[in-house]
Amino acid sequence: MKSDPDHRPLGLRFEKARLFRPFFASDVFYLVTGFIGGTSLTYTFIISASLALDSPGVPRFSALDLPGWVAVAVALLLLDLGNYAAHWLMHRYDRIWDR
C-alpha cells in the first residue's frame, strides 16, 4: 500500500474508532430505553388489537391449528404482501410519499 505522510494509506477508507467513544453511555441508555419502550408499546398494541378483533367474532390466526412452519410461512407472506401494498400506494399517491 502506498502512503503519503500527510494522509492515511490509500487503501484505508475509515479511521479506526475507539470502542468507548464520547457519549457512549447516553447511546446505550437510549438504545435500552427505546428497546424496552418500543417492545412494550408493540406488545400493548398487539394485545389490544387482538382483543378488539375477538369481540366482534373475527377468527384468530391461531384458531386454524396449522403446523408451526406453515404459520410462519403464511405470516411472512402476509407481511410481505402488506409491505408491497403500502409501497405501491406510496408510489401511486404523492401525498403519502411526501410524508
Confidence of residue 60 (pLDDT cuts 50, 70, 90): confident
Phi, psi of 16 (to 5 degrees): -65, 135
The answer to whether 9 touches 3, Cβ cutoff 8 Å, is yes
Question: Which residues in 49-78 are b (16+ Cβ under 10 Å) and which e?
Answer: eeeeeeeeeeeeeeeeeeeeeeeeeeeeee
- Of residues 49 and 80, more confidently modeled: 80
pLDDT at 97: 75
Dist CA 67 CA 76 (whole Å): 14
User: Mapping DSSP to helix (H, G, I), strand (E, B) and coil, where does residue 15 land?
Assistant: coil
For the chain, how many residues are written? 99
Confidence of residue 96 (pLDDT cuts 50, 70, 90): confident
pLDDT at 94: 82
pLDDT at 70: 93
Read off the amino acid at residue 29. F
pLDDT tens string 3-37: 555 555 556 666 777 777 788 889 889 988 988 88
